[in-house]
Chains A and B, each alone.
Chain A
Amino acid sequence: MSSSTNADESAAGIEVGTVVAERTVQLTRESLVRYAGASGDFNPIHYRDDVAERVGLPGVLAHGMLTMGLAVETIVEWLGDSGRILEYGVRFTRPVVVDADSGAALTVVAKVGAVDEATLRVDLTVSHGETVVLGKAQVRVRAGA
């Protein structure tokens, strides 16, 4: 390799490890009902304490797809065009219990995980308190604007 370019930098000069966006989203039971209506996922474990308890859950849970959806939205303003997203995948590793009174605060940190000439990989860390709730939450995006 004769190039003097740092191996961790893309043509756009974005370094691996750079935090490109972060935010905290406060979920409430209303958020879950709103997502149920918008998505069509009316599984009662997402709004009924009695059903959640009966099936052995620790409480009413956020839809995994709500967590996945709000996580990726964290980077859209930075991307400029959400059409730059080529691929997005997650594993649902830990449930997010949304308390009827206090809700649940989810923190999303988006960090550049890898770069090559044409694409970037952005790694999303989504935490509820000390618990990371999504595994391998990775977005592959087209480099440049």
Chain B
Amino acid sequence: MSVNPELVGRDFPPTAPYLVGREKVREFARAVFATDPQHTDPAAAQRLGYTDVVAPPTFAMVIQDLTLQQLLSEPDSGIALERTVHAEQRFRYTRPIVAGDELTARLRVTGVRPFGKGAMVTSEAEITDAGGSHVVTAVSVLLIGGEE
């Protein structure tokens, strides 16, 4: 099965709210070699005006990944994980993610283009907080290889 072009414009439900924990931010910060104290020390984050530790910029991927799981589990998507390569990634921020945020993501597939034997799939996850305000939009370009 090749990638279904009708994924573009399909409505996906918002993901279940993800509560950002302080220890999760610290764990992620350590994993990406983020040494600045704003990521680990609440007092340092508060001096910058935040209520709690600030997640590293690419932490948004953890939330976006919930939407990519939705995409992969669509029965008619034609997207197989083992033939998928992450080609591009982009984040557009209104504000950084902070511990205590309760975040929801909504997926939109914005493009399916033929690429060799496979397809290039562009998807956007709009991530909002508990008040419904925009936090960050995560854009992924996935290359889905064609079947041999």
Do residues B30 and A85 form an inter-chain contact, with CB atoms below 8 A? no
Do residues B95 and A66 form an inter-chain contact, with CB atoms below 8 A? no
* Residues 27-67 of chain A, each 1 if its beta carbon lies under 8 Å from chain B, else 0: 00001001101111101000000000001000000001110
Do residues A82 and B96 form an inter-chain contact, with CB atoms below 8 A? yes
> Contact size class for B?
35 or more
Q: Is B11 an interface residue (CB 8 A)?
A: no
CB distance from B93 to the nearest CB of A (A): 6
Query: How many residues on the A side are at the interface (Cβ–Cβ under 8 A)?
Result: 33
Neighbour of A73 across the interface among B36, B48, B62, B95, CB < 8 A: B36
Binding site for B on A (CB under 8 A): 25, 31, 34-35, 37-41, 43, 55, 64-66, 68-70, 72-73, 76-77, 80-83, 85-92
| Other A-B pairs beyond A82-B54, A83-B50, 11, CB < 8 Å | A35-B32, A38-B24, A39-B61, A39-B62, A65-B58, A69-B58, A83-B93, A89-B91, A89-B139, A92-B85, A92-B88
